[in-house]
Structure 1
Amino acid sequence: MREVQPTDGQRPLLLVVATGMRTYREYLLRSIGSEFAIHLFHVDEPTWEKEYISGWTVLPSTLDGAAMADAARALHAATPVSGVLCWDEGRIHATSYVAQALGLRNGEPDVIWRLRDKGQTREALDAAGVAQPRSVPVSTLDEALAAAERIGYPVILKPRGLGASLGVVRVEDAARLAENFAFTAGAQGPDPDPLPFSTEHPVLVEELVTGDEISVDAVVQDGKATPLFIGRKVVGYEPYAEEIGHYVDGDDPLLTDPRLLDALQETHTALGVRDAWTHSEFMLTADGPRLIEVNGRLGGDMIPYLGLLATGTDPGLAAARVACGLTPDTAPAHRRVTGIRFFYVDRDDTKIASVAFREEGLPAAVDRLVAVAPPGAVVSPPPKGTVWGRIAFAIASGSSVEECGAALDAAEVALDVRSEEGSTRAREGLSVHGG
């Protein structure tokens, strides 16, 4: 089914593939709709999205790049499309076939697959001499044990094709590796990928590099990478790498740090990224930045929203402009500090009765309080729950990390979670595991 509404003819038409959860992505669609006419490819008739879009096409799948390309050609023949955008990790590769079919920016499936397949990412960066952890692709426990012996414990086990730190675990020795290998090898994302990652070597055994872990959201135009904001990760539930929060400082000194800027550019050049919004993750080691991974999309976990609050730079509009070959506005309008914290239950298989925040008396720095888990949901903390175990989150904006942290602490105290077994306390990763 296709529904096309007339546009004013003045705004570029942007084709958006899927939207994701309204809770996490509506702000992007709202911003883009202020400057672009939006046509949505989706698997269901849009609901909340209709407020921001000019038309839509319902498809059997948004994971089938070839079929979406055919639908895009038909749309383009009727109304010329200026750009194609997707921020869903599982669909960015299929979307690149759409851009390629229309001769638009980011239409390079091989490049996007190089980003999605972390094994290929490592190979390309090794060939270019970009600093990164040593990494060995393996398929069996015996191969993993042998690779870990060569690299030296502790090591990281990582699936080669998933995001959001799914399946990632630190192991201290051979016994721990043996205990956790099946956890990593069996990790799955929310959607099956139409082009499977290497079944011969589905797991990466990687050198553990230590330091502060950051993310860099950047725009890339004609091969030049420009960072817009830096996310400082808060990780919990050791030895698993669950991302339980982030802080973004609009005046972060890393935005002008020569070593990080060089590493960012060298990484994108080595991977062949020409035009895109990317979300890269680095470990700031004593020897300099070490690339952990690159994602060919806007960051998740509400990080782009934190960047918007911290700098005034609109990530939705910037990504849309890059997709259409237009110059984005990257100059910050202000500089603030923002933060997000995710909350979890403390017991596996908790059936939720209600999740709510008591908002009276909370600090002014609290920007947003969001309950994620609906009544009746069965959730678990990591490692069983991982990202899908989150029941709520809070966002704060202030003049310092300390102010944001205090506001998030107050939000945590104000969170009331009730299970069908009775009242329970929601916990976030640091308090559960003592830091």
Structure 2
Amino acid sequence: MHIVMVECNPNGIAGIANALELGHRVTLVTADPDFYLAASPLAEAAYAHPSCHVLKSETAFSIEVLEQLVKEVHAADPVDGVMTYSEYHTVHAASVARALGLPGVSVEGALNARHKHRTRLTLQGHAEVRQPRFAHVQEPDRIEAAIREIGFPCVVKPSDGTASLHVLHLTDEQELQDYLAQLAQVTDYGRGVTRIPDILVEEFVTGEIVSVESCVLADGRIVNLGITDRTMSGFPYFIEMGATFFRGHPLEAELFAANEAVLRGLGIDFGFMHTEFILGADGPVLCEVNGRLVGGIVPALMKISTGVDPYLEVIRQALGETPELPFPGELTATGRWFGSPVEGELTSVDFSALTELPGYVEALSYRAPGRQVSRLSTSNFDWLGHLIFTGTGRDEAAERAEAALDRIGVEIAVKVAR
């Protein structure tokens, strides 16, 4: 069958590889094919596969352009499914699926999840959904009034961001001014993705961050799969540094009920979903909703724990099949990301001290020696690589992964100012 992938994400290249291995044809529409070559070790082989067509279009972030482009692809080779693993392109995939009459989430639901201000406004006053106090700002000169309304400390974020990019914890006026100056320079997120002006200012809610992974079946039933916990970096940024996929969280029933209320309230009616909550003093508080499969290494954790590959099940659902659902098993998988303490040229990454440790599954560097790397400082895009370990429960898996971080050898060549 023929699948159109509207952009992707680095880890999602595994889904393309899976589809090709099963004999499907894949057309990847992307503004920047080289982005995936630099970020995924699987991309080169996928691109070289005879059933993979990489269609470069620097203007395909325009939904009208994208729809016309895919209609032309469809005329030449009928398309059986449209999908994406990319947060930036969930609305685009939904729009193209609708235009071709193929399975997909409703465009309205995709928009409500994609733009954080729409999530907040749509669910405002919902009896079953707790949200932080918030202010929606459409013009930068209104943000100071919004800050006064919400008060310090607060969290500011672009409405269309992802991967914690440009999300900041602010405590005073100077931090606010610095943030606005930096954000004013950001007009796009790369790969042709333009930034909308909307910003959210939110009350800072203390508590652990977790997410509910779920799937909305074709008949509208919401199936909660499991919980993913998060290990976060320190303020003022919100960089994800670890994750564990499991069942048995003390607030699982409440989280699952809240997730169902959120998805129904937003009109999300199809597909794998990733909903983040802050565990506040009075219960789960909605952080944000992502209208696609959870990103990063979590799909790999899901596969290890469940035996089901969620990347492949997203594809199967897009093709109109009933997906096999990845429910956590007795084995718990956890992952930790790592980065560089300095900016420079990557000389080497050595994982040899990890391979004999109990529970070791894999370790991967996202950058090859000789490439420039940034300092781990502001967002998930600063990750250098990850490692994955298993255990009989969340605590054992986490202890093993944390201990292994100290055994990674990373060498960076740094230019010294003279």
Q: Which runs of 5+ in 1 are unaligned?
A: 1-11, 423-435
How far is the alpha carbon of 1:243 from its aligned partner? 0.7
Tell whether 2:190 aligns with 1:190: yes
Residue of 359, 373, 379 corresponding to 2:373 = 379
C-alpha separation between the residues in 2 aligned to 1:211 and 1:167? 20
Tell whether 2:208 aligns with 1:212: yes
Partner of 2:111: 113
One-letter identity of the residue aligned with 2:4: L
What's the secondary structure of 1:403's corresponding residue?
Answer: helix
Give CA deviations for 1:365-403 in whole Å, capped at 9, x if unaligned.
11111112233333333435x223222211111212333
Give CA deviations for 1:286-313 in whole Å, capped at 9, x if unaligned.
2221111111111111111111112223
The 1:203/1:247 distance shift into structure 2, 3 A limit, reads: same
Partner of 2:39: none
Partner of 2:301: 306
How far is the alpha carbon of 1:155 from its aligned partner? 0.8
Tell whether 2:352 aligns with 1:358: yes
The 1:421/1:226 distance shift into structure 2, 3 A limit, reads: same
What's the secondary structure of 2:377's corresponding residue?
Answer: coil
The 1:108/1:58 distance shift into structure 2, 3 A limit, reads: same
One-letter identity of the residue aligned with 1:14: I
How far is the alpha carbon of 1:103 from its aligned partner? 0.7
Residue of 63, 84, 87 corresponding to 1:86 = 84
What's the secondary structure of 1:345's corresponding residue?
Answer: coil
Partner of 1:17: 6
What's the secondary structure of 2:304's corresponding residue?
Answer: helix
What's the secondary structure of 1:101's corresponding residue?
Answer: helix
Tell whether 2:334 aligns with 1:336: no
Contact 2:214–2:274 (8 Å) recurs in 1: yes
The range that moved more, 139-148 or 315-324, is 139-148
C-alpha separation between the residues in 2 aligned to 1:397 and 1:28? 22
How far is the alpha carbon of 1:161 from its aligned partner? 0.8
Tell whether 2:237 aligns with 1:268: no
Give CA deviations for 1:251-309 in whole Å, capped at 9, x if unaligned.
3346x833222211111112111112211111122222111111111111111111111
TM-score normalised to the size of structure 1?
Answer: 0.82
How far is the alpha carbon of 1:235 from its aligned partner? 0.5
Q: Please list, as runs of the form range in 1=range in 2, the aligned pairs for 1:147-186 lying within 5 A after superposition.
A: 147-184=146-183, 186=185
TM-score normalised to the size of structure 2?
Answer: 0.85
C-alpha separation between the residues in 2 aligned to 1:183 and 1:157? 13
Contact 2:305–2:328 (8 Å) recurs in 1: no
The 1:262/1:51 distance shift into structure 2, 3 A limit, reads: farther
- Identity of matched residues, %: 27
One-letter identity of the residue aligned with 2:340: V
Contact 1:15–1:39 (8 Å) recurs in 2: yes
C-alpha separation between the residues in 2 aligned to 1:125 and 1:71? 34
What's the secondary structure of 1:28's corresponding residue?
Answer: helix
Contact 1:167–1:185 (8 Å) recurs in 2: no
The 1:91/1:139 distance shift into structure 2, 3 A limit, reads: closer
C-alpha separation between the residues in 1 aligned to 2:55 and 2:2? 18
How far is the alpha carbon of 1:363 from its aligned partner? 0.9
Count of aligned residue pairs for this structure pair? 401
What's the secondary structure of 2:147's corresponding residue?
Answer: helix
Contact 2:166–2:183 (8 Å) recurs in 1: yes
Contact 2:4–2:29 (8 Å) recurs in 1: no
Residue of 315, 319, 322 corresponding to 1:324 = 319
What's the secondary structure of 1:132's corresponding residue?
Answer: coil
Partner of 2:224: 227
The range that moved more, 406-415 or 240-249, is 406-415
Partner of 1:6: none
The 1:185/1:240 distance shift into structure 2, 3 A limit, reads: farther
Query: How well do the aligned residues superpose, as a CA RMSD in angstroms?
Result: 2.8
One-letter identity of the residue aligned with 1:176: E
Q: Please list, as runs of the form range in 1=range in 2, the aligned pairs for 1:41-60 lying within 5 A after superposition.
A: 41-43=28-30, 44=33, 47-49=44-46, 54-56=51-53, 58-60=55-57
C-alpha separation between the residues in 1 aligned to 2:23 and 2:277? 33
What's the secondary structure of 2:118's corresponding residue?
Answer: helix
